[in-house]
Amino acid sequence: MAERIRYKNIDEIPDVALSTGTTRVLKTGSWRNVKPVIENKAAPCLKACPLGTKIPHYFYWIIEKDLEKAADVLLERNPFPAITGRVCPAFCQIGCNRKRFDERISIRELERYVGDYIIKRGYKIKELPSDTGKRIAVIGSGPAGMAVAYFLRRYGHSVTIFERESKPGGVLRYGIPSYRLPKDILDKEFEMLLNMGIKIETNKELGKDVYLDELRQKFDAVFIGIGAWVEKRMRMEGEENLLSGVHFLKDVNEGKETSKFKGKKVAVIGAGNVAMDVVRTLKRIGAEPCILYRRTEKEMPALEEEREKAKADGIPFHFLTLPIKAENRNGKILLTNQKMKLGEPDKSGRRRPIPIEGSEFQEEYDFVIKAIGEEADRKILPEEYLGEDGWPYADKKTGATKVEGVFAGGDFIQGPSTVVEAEAWAQRAARSIDRFLKGEDINVKEIPPRTVSFMLIRTEYFDKAPAIHPQELSVEERIKSFEEEVKTFSEEMALKEAKRCFSCGYCNSCGNCYVYCPDMSILWKDGKPVVDYDFCKGCGVCASECPRGIIQMVSEI
Amino acid sequence: MGDLKTKKGIKKVLYGNHAVSYGVKVSRAQVISAYPITPQTQVVELLSEMVGKGELDATFVNVESEHSAMAVCIGASITGVRTFTATSAQGLLLMHELLHWAAGDRLPIVMAVINRAVAAPWSIWSDQNDSLSQRDTGWMKIYCESNQEVLDSVILAYKVSEKVFLPSMLVLDAFILSHTAEPVEVPAQEEVDEFLPPLELPHALTPEKPYAIGAVVMPDGPYMELRYKIQKAMEKAIPEIEKACNEFYELFGRKWEFVEEFMMDDADVVLITSGAVSSTVKYTVNEIRKREGKKIGVLRMRILRPFHFEKIRKILSGRKKVIVLDRNISFGLGGIFFNEIRSSLYSVSEKPILLGYIWGLGGRDITPKDVEGVIKDAEKREKDEDIIFWGLKKENINL
């Protein structure tokens, strides 16, 4: 305590009651019964992303114009941002809190912006851990295989990928058309895997060139991610007269001759994402494609974005139309179609198509391509790998098969799905493999992070601003070639869009708590707020003025 | 009006409210914080424009209440910058706690109060009860009659406040002054700068000299001594006000004093007024003198705190009848000015007959007819009467 002052006379007393020493001896923190806790939480986008990409966190570095740091944060959880930044359905954007304020953030475009930066600067991962001496064989180099290899390498293990085709990439190379994902982007991502020390052996097909038992002996663990490439059967008369959608896409992607389709009338059966890729590819090689689908637009399994682009490309959709017979008439296909109507919902929740008696009609096409869905090759693995339903089985949380040391995932297990979901499976599997190799229990109990809801956002701190959308080729331009139709954000666009982000749950050092604390009990250390509990009285102003739900008041009683 | 020698200023036709704003502008206030309330809003509206346009180099702080407005002024003033706020009625009452704080911290804040009747029931029109309810907060109080006086008093208020380190409240009538335009001379900036140097607050809080202000003082600590010092500062303010008014007259040619005496030299009967209604009273008294030759004069109270007992005593001593006209009331006691005048006359040997009139509450109109009525009514009275409600519609109420 300060010493007591004795005044000689009244004039010596100052006009105002001023302290003579510091008041810091008075630890007012003892008055408190609730305390503010500063803690980052999960943004809804982060929670919606199967990979758990730390979205607001790397946006922070975009705004700071430190793309190196943005890349580090992004690559921690998201192995191929230049790919997912192009083809991801962006579950994150669906969850975005900002959509309740004005419009969701163009998260995918920002991911792509950083992804392209990473490609431009040369793909590298800082500080790979030292080699553990463990070796893992990965079968298949599609999204699941690539991602599992990536994550395993980051754990410090050695990885060898075995790929059936002459080039790696799986569905990314042979399925997705290059107007959505240019091949050079894919090649660059593989360069990165090679730079990390991952080996790739191509033209090695499981069951022909490599065998599971052999790999199990040579390697400490095996991951199978060979995708779903078997076209489902329609069980219609003359099905052998139809072409396969996935094979068609593979041929085009391999650069095979496509002139036979030029100017030809082509029917595509199905309305999923593969069907959309097939019709849009056909359009670009000069064919006249159309869609035949037994339900209506509402039941279409394709992503809305893909459906809308196909419609904009000028492709006719014939709904409630089911081909029931295909006859080869002098090289042309005569399809017999039946008109359908919608009945009660089936187990998928979509209304079941019911044939209308006597509604059959015929139509002649040059080619008919079926794209009604693919499935895994169920004969490729021996019985001990199959589940009760007869399909190859792996645990959803760990990726472990029933056989010790063998893991599997991606479309091969979960059926045709998105790139990001395959990568997310791989992320979980890689962690399990790492734990398995260390002799730890692979079952990890995960506590889901707390999410910041829209209610916790102080919207008064934000100005309304519409989302920035990427530049795109016009429909007239894009249907003429395989040029990538969506462009990457410019720096200006990226900055503007990243700044729209509420940064839900991630402290971006806005300083509101520091400014508003009436007791100067928010300290600023290394660019971040820290509560000075010696003096904080627990008034809660910091918590109520935090625009992004990072500060919570916690009872101390 | 005195000898207009320099005249570098320019004439403008200004509302009373805007006269306040111009006064603040030429006084170079550095922090302005206010919350809108009728009839004050125009004051800070114009100031915010001045700040927005860069004509006034000040920080304008929007707040959510008058309590916060005064808190901002206190916080800013402690750092040694010139601060300003303005309010009316309920807004002033919400500030109440902090008015004591501003005075106790000895901060030279200047505030304009546009006198407005206090609710309930709601009223937005002129009466003095809002400002007078803050009588004992330790603020100096100036009651103005004209828009020119309003503008000049802002400058004078800063001058005196910054000498004695007490806050000043500048009071003008709702609508009668606030929303009425009059020709006003806005003094030239360089002249005001000469008159009003930058604030130097001895106890200014700076990062180099941190301290806590106004913390607890024990009963045997200097609380009572600090109160004594506020009283001494009020007493010191009397010569400082006189000095400042003289200096102001020298520079600008306009004489503002503690009180204004009108036709007082030979007056037997004195009407005591304050605020804008004084003009009506002076006009009527002049008419009656011309018409009937009655020896009536007017004493306009300009500064209520500090209260200049000596001067009032001197002026009123030996008069036959003193009529105090209050546009306010302390319930259970009477007119507030009346009681202050009465207490000042206690030691006078020959006491005049004292009559207290309450009129014009809630903005009820006061016309020359009312003034004549009061004078006629007072002529009939030969003994003191504390509370006479004038203009009360007691019979056949038809409002």
Residues of B with Cβ-Cβ distance to A18 under 8 angstroms: 203, 211-213
Task: Indicate which of B78, B100, B226 best probes the interface with A, i.e. most A CBs within 10 Å of its own CB.
Answer: B226
Residues A315 and A397 in one domain: no
In this complex, is the C-beta atom of B372 within 8 Å of any C-beta atom belonging to chain A? no
Q: Is B64 on the interface with A (CB under 8 A)?
A: no
Calculated CA dihedral for residues A423, A424, A427, A433, nearest 10 degrees? -100
- How confident is the model at residue B220, as a pLDDT? 86
Question: Is B283:B263 a contact under the CB 8 Å cutoff?
Answer: no
Residue A482 lies in a domain: yes
Looking at the predicted structure, is the pLDDT value of residue A446 above 90?
no
pLDDT in the model for residue A93: 96
- Chain B interface, mutation test: which of A7, A16, A20, A520, most B Cβ atoms within 10 Å? A16
Residues A208, A221: one domain? yes
Q: For chain B, say whether A15 makes contact (Cβ under 8 Å).
A: yes
Residue A121 has a pLDDT of 85
Separation in Å, CA of B238 to nearest CA in chain A? 18
* Minimal C-alpha gap between A105 and chain B (Å): 31
Residue A441 lies in a domain: no
CA B229 to chain A, closest CA, distance in angstroms equals: 7
Residue A157 lies in a domain: yes
Determine whether the interchain pair A16/B233 forms a contact, defined as Cβ–Cβ distance below 8 Å: no
Residue of chain A whose alpha carbon sits nearest to that of B224: A10
In chain B, what are the helix, strand and coil shares in percent, each to the nearest 5?
40, 20, 40
Domain B259-389 in the same topology as domain B10-252: yes
Cα angle value A479/A484/A487 (rounded, 5°): 120
Rounded mean pLDDT of B366-372?
A: 97
**Structural domain spans, chain B:** 10-252, 259-389
Q: Does the pLDDT at position B151 exceed 60?
A: yes
CB distance from B293 to chain A under 8 Å? no
Phi/psi at A357 (5° precision): -55, 135
For residue A22, the chain B residue with the least C-alpha distance is B211
Residues of B in contact with A15 (CB under 8 A): 106, 165, 202-203, 226, 229, 233
Q: How far is B272 from chain A (nearest CA, A)?
A: 35
Give me A544's structure tokens: 């109520």
Share of chain B above pLDDT 90, in %: 90
- A288 and A352 share one domain: yes
Tell which CATH architecture fits domain B10-252: 3-Layer(aba) Sandwich (3.40)
Q: Tell me which chain B residues have a C-beta less than 8 angstroms from the C-beta of A8.
A: none
CB-based contacts of B174: which residues, under 8 Å, 6+ apart? B39, B88, B114, B115, B116, B117, B124, B125, B126, B363
Q: Work out the end-to-end distance of chain A between its first and last CA atoms, rounded to an integer number of angstroms.
A: 29
pLDDT at B2 (0 to 100)? 43
Element (H, E) at A304: helix A304-312
Nearest residue of chain A to residue B213 (CA atoms): A18
pLDDT (tens digit per residue) in A241-294: 999 999 999 999 999 988 999 999 999 999 999 999 999 999 999 999 999 999
Instruction: List the domain range (segments joined by +) for residue A245.
Output: 233-375
Please report, to the nearest 10 degrees, the dihedral formed by the alpha carbons of residues A52, A56, A60, A65 taken in order.
Answer: 70
B206 touches chain A (CB under 8 A): no
Interface test with B, best of A4, A15, A24, A541 (most B CBs within 10 A): A15
For residue A23, is pLDDT > 80? no
ipTM for the complex?
0.78
The band of B6, judged by pLDDT with boundaries at 50, 70 and 90, is low
Hey, are the CB atoms on A15 and B210 less than 8 Å from each other?
A: no
Least confident piece of the model among A243-247, B92-96, B182-186, B210-214: B210-214
Please tell me whether residues A151 and A33 are part of one structural domain. Answer: no
- Say if residue B207 is preceded by a cis peptide, omega within 30 of 0: no
Which residues in chain B are contacts of A17 at CB distance < 8 A? 104, 213-215, 217, 222-223, 226
pLDDT tens by residue, A119-162: 998 766 667 888 899 999 999 999 999 999 999 999 999 999 99
Give the distance from residue A531's alpha carbon to the nearest chain B alpha carbon, in angstroms.
21
Task: Check whether residue A211 and residue A155 sit in a common domain.
Answer: yes
Pairs of CB atoms within 8 A across A/B: 43
Across the interface, whether the CB atoms of A17 and B165 are under 8 A apart is answered no
Third-level CATH fold of B259-389: Rossmann fold (3.40.50)
CB–CB contact A17 B217 (8 Å): yes
A345 and A281, same structural domain?
A: yes
More confident residue, A23 or A429: A429
Q: A188-219 burial by CB neighbour count: b if 16+ within 10 A, else e?
A: bbbebbeebebebeeebebeeebebeebbeeb
Chain B interface includes A5 (CB < 8 A): no
CB contact under 8 A, A10 and B214: no
Strands A367-370 and A265-269: parallel
Band of pLDDT at residue A489, cut at 50, 70 and 90: very high
State whether A338 and A464 are in the same domain. Answer: no
Is the predicted pLDDT of residue B1 greater than 60, yes or no? no
Residue A310 lies in a domain: yes
**Predicted confidence band of residue B7 (pLDDT cuts 50, 70, 90):** low
Residue A147 in any domain: the answer is yes
A65 falls within a domain: yes
Query: How far is Cα A539 from Cα A543, in angstroms, rounded to an integer?
Result: 9
Checking if the pLDDT of A355 tops 80, the result is: yes
B218 in contact with A at a CB cutoff of 8 Å?
no
Look at residues A147, A148, A161, A145 and name the one whose alpha carbon lies nearest to residue A199.
A161
With respect to residue A531, please indicate whether it lies within any of the assigned structural domains.
yes
A18 near B CB under 8 A: yes
pLDDT in tens, B271-280: 999 999 999 9
Domain count, chain A: 4
| CB contact B226 to A (< 8 Å) | yes
- Is A13 near chain B, with CB under 8 Å? yes
Helix (H) or strand (E) segment spanning residue A327: strand A321-329
What confidence tens digit (pLDDT) does each residue in A374-426 have? 999 988 999 999 999 889 999 999 999 999 999 999 999 998 899 999 999 99
Q: Among residues B303, B161, B169, B170, which one has the least CA distance to residue B233?
A: B161
B226/A20 CB distance under 8 A? no
Residue B163 confidence (pLDDT) above 80: yes
Residue B3: which pLDDT band, with cuts at 50, 70 and 90? very low
Would you state the pLDDT for residue A1? 47
Interface test with B, best of A11, A18, A545 (most B CBs within 10 A): A18
Q: What's the average model confidence in pLDDT over A216-243?
A: 93
Give the pLDDT of residue B306: 98
- pTM higher than the cut 0.80: no
Half-sphere exposure of A549 (CA within 13 A, CB side): 19
Q: Do A15 and B233 touch (CB under 8 A)?
A: yes
A461 touches A512 (CB < 8 A): yes
Name the token pair of A127.
């500080």
In chain B the first and final C-alpha atoms are separated, in Å, by: 41
CA distance A293 to A350: 14
Residues A115 and A153 occupy one common structural domain: no
CA dist B25 to A514, A524, B169, B185, B189, Å? 32, 37, 17, 13, 9
Average of per-residue pLDDT across B48-77:
97
Average model confidence (pLDDT) across chain A: 93
* SS3 category, B380: helix
**pLDDT bucket at A20, cuts 50 / 70 / 90:** confident
